[in-house]
Amino acid sequence: MTINQCPTCGSDRIRKVHRKWTGVFQGQTYNVEGLEFYECPVCGERVFGREAIRKIEAQSAAFSGSREIKKTA
């Protein structure tokens, strides 16, 4: 994925960054080390690709434990 323009403000200053990201779920803080995502220095918008989302889900308490997949008939 390559982004050259911020989807929120239209700035062409959006850049890919590689750093620690911190999230909070139900009062619990968690960190994701070495996360790669796009960030706009103008408006603060962050755009996460598929791999970044997977890393966030792997560290978040919101996704811990087993998730049951419901099948429809």
User: Each residue of 26-63: pLDDT tens digit?
Assistant: 898 999 999 999 999 999 999 999 999 999 999 988 88
First-to-last CA distance in the chain? 36
pLDDT score of 8 more than 60: yes
Residue with the bigger pLDDT between 47 and 70: it is: 47
Segment 8-15 mean pLDDT:
98
**pTM, to two decimals:** 0.76
CA 4 to chain centre: 18
With b for 16 or more beta-carbon neighbours within 10 A and e for fewer, the 56-72 pattern comes to: beebeeeeeeeeeeeee
Residue with the bigger pLDDT between 67 and 12: it is: 12
Spatial distance between the Cα atoms of 17 and 24, rounded to a whole number of angstroms: 20
Residue with the bigger pLDDT between 11 and 25: it is: 11
Residue 28 forms beta bridges with which residues? 25
